[in-house]
């Protein structure tokens, strides 16, 4: 019995950690991404209610009213996570769409006050007996909702990361990689909940497993600085890039070739790719064409997206710098910056993908060949 209570106490640890984490985000302790952080804080707060409910039930603390109150916001939990992800990748959201996500929660709230809290009503009320299918929906809808919203959140994040390479020549601090870890930890807890329904061993140790998942949630939220680094750059909010399906009548073959020549002349001739913060909109402004036209030229005229186009030019620049006597005094980070990369990681990854060699291996291979 003592062991069971010890394991169950992890629900209290989880609830406390989530209340603290949700409060920090909701009060806006960091003044960046306030709306997104508050939605994420609401998600953590509702998740904290669930663990508080588990703790109260296990230790028989509080009455049934308090336990029911902890259960009420359950159906709003995953919509809050979706709203948070949506605001991280794109701060605008239609109010009608916002309302629809919370409609099941509002219906559940109404149902709960009428059926799950009968002591709030006069005993003379004779409530009708529920048909079995309503009980089935109430029991299993939440699991369907969890899976649906996790997939929706993951899809939003993947679309954001794909669009980045259409719009920017860099992804560091704006790719929301921390959010990938957060969603994976949420998926981990969803799987624990589903498996524990049929596996006694998982159910027994689930408080510890949940607590481990919450530690990952906290780590992903608080230690990944990119959560606060998206101040004005919101790629997923930009117009959708249409690389292949743009209207064929928009540009003729001759216009494509002419604009391709201009793009190459300006970008390569003036070495615009050396700007580490270069984006599609910045380059289109320097060339004098729209972002849609530039994206179309890159995808259909050159056969590359913006990220590939710019970073391949930077890689060629880096190859020259690595073999130049004038840059022997530079370390690898210095070469990366001189070539237009804004981080050593991006430089190494892009260089290895383009050449099959690390920068040091490239230098050695060329020095051996010159002997």
* pLDDT above 60 for 143: yes
Kindly state the tokens that stand for 261. Answer: 């020549």
| Per-chain mean pLDDT for the chain | 80
Q: What is the pLDDT of residue 96?
A: 66
> What digits encode the pLDDT tens for the residues 29-76?
666 678 888 999 999 999 999 898 888 877 666 656 677 777 888 889
- Do 188 and 45 lie in one domain? The reply is yes
How far CA 218 is from CA of 9, 17, 21, 25, 357, in Å, comes to 19, 8, 7, 11, 37
CATH of the domain at 233: 1.20.1070
150 vs 95 pLDDT, higher one? 150
pLDDT digits (tens, 9 = 90+) for 346-358: 888 889 988 899 8
Residues 293 and 181 in one domain: no
pLDDT at res. 20: 92
Do 163 and 61 share a domain, yes or no? yes
Q: What is the pLDDT of residue 276?
A: 86
Percent of the chain with pLDDT over 90: 18
- Please check whether residues 165 and 20 belong to one and the same domain: yes
Domain end point (choices 178, 202, 237)? 237
Same domain, 183 and 313: no
What is the per-residue pLDDT across 173-189, written as a single tens digit (0 to 9) for each?
667 888 898 999 999 98
Point out the domain boundary residue: 202, 237, 272: 237
226 with 267, same domain: the answer is: no
Same domain, 309 and 210: no
> Per the structure block, which two tokens stand in for 238?
């930009």
Note the pLDDT of residue 57.
76
Q: With 60 as the cut, is the pLDDT of residue 113 above it?
A: yes
The pLDDT value given to residue 236: 41
Q: Are the C-beta atoms of residues 211 and 10 closer than 8 Å to each other?
A: yes
- Domain boundary (184, 208, 237) is at 237
- Closest by CA to 24, choosing from 154, 177, 189, 218, is 218
Residues 225 and 362 reside in one and the same domain: no
Confidence bin at 149 (pLDDT 50/70/90): very high
Q: What is the pLDDT of residue 84?
A: 92
Evaluate whether 209 touches 192 at the Cβ level (below 8 Å).
Answer: yes
Residue-level pLDDT at 371: 53
Task: State how far the Cα of 353 lies from the Cα of 357, in Å rounded to an integer.
Answer: 8
Q: What is the pLDDT of residue 242?
A: 40
268-275 mean pLDDT: 90
Tell me if 244 is assigned to some domain.
no
Q: Where are the alpha helices (DSSP H) in 29-131?
A: 34-59, 64-71, 77-89, 95-101, 103-111
What average pLDDT does the segment 207-221 reach?
88
Dump pLDDT digits (tens) for 300-315: 888 888 888 999 999 9
* Alpha carbons 37 and 319: distance in angstroms, whole number: 42
Task: Look at the chain and report how many structural domains it folds into.
Answer: 2
**What token pair was written down for 294?**
């530039």
Can you tell me which residue has the tokens 């954001």? Answer: 160
% of the chain at pLDDT higher than 70: 78
For residues 215 and 169, membership in a common domain is answered with yes
Q: What's the rounded Cα separation, in Å, for the pair 274 and 268?
A: 10
What is the Cα–Cα distance from 127 to 129, expressed in whole angstroms? 7
CATH number at residue 356: 1.10.10.60
Q: pLDDT for 218-266, tens place per residue?
A: 888 886 554 434 334 444 444 444 444 444 456 778 888 888 899 999 9
The pLDDT, as a whole number, for residue 108 is 83
Which tops the pLDDT comparison, 339 or 90?
339
Give the mean pLDDT of 124-151: 78
In a domain, 248, yes or no: no
At 162, is the pLDDT very low, low, confident or very high (cuts 50, 70, 90)? confident
Range of the domain at 19: 2-120+128-237
* Residue that the structure tokens 């984490």 belong to: 21
List the end-to-end C-alpha distance of the chain, in Å, as a whole number.
Answer: 76
CB 255 within 8 A of CB 290: no
């Amino acid at each position: 019995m003592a062991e069971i209570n010890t394991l169950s106490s992890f629900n209290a640890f989880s609830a406390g950690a989530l209340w603290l984490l949700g409060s920090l985000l909701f009060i806006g302790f960091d003044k960046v991404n306030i709306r997104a952080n508050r939605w994420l804080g609401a998600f953590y707060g509702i998740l904290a209610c669930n663990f508080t409910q588990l703790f109260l039930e296990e230790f028989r603390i509080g009455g049934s009213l308090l336990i029911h109150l902890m259960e009420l916001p359950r159906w709003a939990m995953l919509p809050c996570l979706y709203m948070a992800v949506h605001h991280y990748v794109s701060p605008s959201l239609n109010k009608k769409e916002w309302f629809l996500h919370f409609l099941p929660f509002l219906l559940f709230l109404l149902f709960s006050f009428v059926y799950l809290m009968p002591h709030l009503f006069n005993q003379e009320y004779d409530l009708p007996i529920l048909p079995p299918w309503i009980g089935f929906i109430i029991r299993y809808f939440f699991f369907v909702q969890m899976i649906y919203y996790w997939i929706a959140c993951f899809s939003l994040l993947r679309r954001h990361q794909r669009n980045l390479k259409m719009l920017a020549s860099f992804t560091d601090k704006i790719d929301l990689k921390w959010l990938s870890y957060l969603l994976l930890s949420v998926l981990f807890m969803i799987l624990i909940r589903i498996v524990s329904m049929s596996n006694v061993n998982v159910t027994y140790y689930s408080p510890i497993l949940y607590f481990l998942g919450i530690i990952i949630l906290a780590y992903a939220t608080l230690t990944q600085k990119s959560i606060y680094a998206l101040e004005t750059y919101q790629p997923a909010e930009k117009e959708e890039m249409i690389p292949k399906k743009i209207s064929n009548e928009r540009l003729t073959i001759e216009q494509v070739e002419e604009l391709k020549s201009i793009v190459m002349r300006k970008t390569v001739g003036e070495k615009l790719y050396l700007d580490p913060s270069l984006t599609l909109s910045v380059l289109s402004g320097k060339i004098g064409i729209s972002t849609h036209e530039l994206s179309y030229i890159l995808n259909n005229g050159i056969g590359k997206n913006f990220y590939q186009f710019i970073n391949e030019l930077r890689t060629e620049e880096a190859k020259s710098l690595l073999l130049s006597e004038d840059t022997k005094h530079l370390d690898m980070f210095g070469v990366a910056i001189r070539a237009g990369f804004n981080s050593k990681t991006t430089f190494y990854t892009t260089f290895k993908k383009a050449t099959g060699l690390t920068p040091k291996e490239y230098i050695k291979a060329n020095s051996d060949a010159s002997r």
